[in-house]
Amino acid sequence: MTSGSLTHLQSLEAESIEILREVAASFERPVMMYSIGKDSSVLLHLARKAFFPSKIPFPLLHVNTTWKFREMIAFRDAMAEKHGFDLISHTNPEGLANGINPFDHGSSRFTDIMKTQALRQALDAGRYDAAIGGARRDEEKSRAKERIFSHRNASHAWDPKNQRPELWRVFNTRLNPGESMRVFPISNWTELDVWTYIYSEGIELPSLYYAKSRPVVDRQGTLIMVDDERFRLEPGEQPRQEVVRFRTLGDYPLTGAIRSDAATLPGIIMEMQASRTSEREGRLIDSDSVGSMEKKKQEGYF
Partner 1 sequence: MSLAALTPDTDIALWLNQQTEKSLLRFLTCGSVDDGKSTLIGRLLYDSQLILDDQLASLKKESHNRTVGDEGIDFSLLVDGLTAEREQGITIDVAYRFFSTDKRKFIVADTPGHEQYTRNMATGASNAELALVLIDARKGVLTQTRRHSFILSLIGVKHVVLVVNKIDLVDYDEAIFDRIVAEYRAFAEPLGFSTLAAVPVSALRGDNILAKSGRTPWFDGVPLVPYLETIQVAEDRTLGKMRFPVQWVNRPNLDFRGFSGTVASGVVKVGDEVLIASSRRPAVVKSIVTMDGELSQAVAGQAVTLVLDREVDISRGDMLTHAGETPEFSNQFQARVVWMSEEPAYPGRSYLLKLGTQLVPATITDLKFRTNVNTLEQTAATKVDLNEVATVTIATDKPIAFDAYTSNALTGGFILVDRISNATLGAGRIDFGLRRAQNLTYQNFDVNRDVRSQMKGQQAKIVWFTGLSGSGKSSIANLLEKRLTAEGRHAYILDGDNVRHGLNKDLGFTEAARVENIRRVAEVARLMADAGLIVLVSFISPFEKERRLAREIAGDIDFVEVYVDTPLEVCESRDPKGLYKRARAGEIKNFTGIDSPFEPPTTPELVLHGAENEPAVLAEHLHGWLKI
- Tell me which stretch binds partner 1 (CB under 8 A): 78-86, 95-103, 137-145, 242-250: 137-145
Q: Which CB atom, from 3 or from 213, has the smaller least distance to partner 1? A: 3
Phi-psi region of 40 (alpha: psi -120 to 50; beta: other; left: phi over 0): alpha
C-beta of 135: minimal distance to partner 1 in Å? 12
Interatomic CA distance for residues 235 and 228, integer angstroms: 17
Binding mask 179-218 for partner 1 (x = CB under 8 A): --------xx-x-x---x--xx------------------
298: CB partners within 8 A, 6+ apart: 157, 158, 159, 160
Residue from the set 28, 54, 97, 213 that interacts with partner 1 by CB under 8 A: 54
Q: CB-wise, 95 or 134, nearer to partner 1?
A: 134
CB of 300 to partner 1, least distance (A): 17
Please select the residue that binds partner 1; options are 70, 127, 145, 230, rule is CB under 8 A.
145
Closest approach, Cβ 160 to partner 1, in A, equals 6
Q: Which of 55, 57, 51 is nearest to 28 (CA)?
A: 57
By CB under 8 A, residue 108 contacts partner 1: no
- Please state, in angstroms and rounded to a whole number, the distance separating the CA atoms of residues 149 and 170: 10
177 contributes a contact to partner 1 by CB under 8 A: no
Instruction: For residues 102 and 98, give the distance between their C-alpha atoms in angstroms, rounded to a whole number.
Output: 13
According to CB under 8 A, which residues from 7 to 46 bind partner 1?
7-11, 13-14, 17-18, 21-22, 24-25
4 binds partner 1 (CB under 8 A): yes
Please select the residue that binds partner 1; options are 29, 83, 164, 212, rule is CB under 8 A.
164
Q: Do 201 and 40 meet the contact criterion of CB atoms below 8 Å apart?
A: no
CA distance linking residue 42 with residue 190, whole number of Å: 12
Decide: 69 and 249 in contact? Cβ < 8 Å: yes
Residue count, binding to partner 1 (CB under 8 A): 73
46-73 per-residue burial string, b: 16 or more CB within 10 A, e: under 16: bbbebbeeeebbbbbbbbbbebbbeebb
138 forms part of the interface with partner 1 (CB under 8 A)? yes
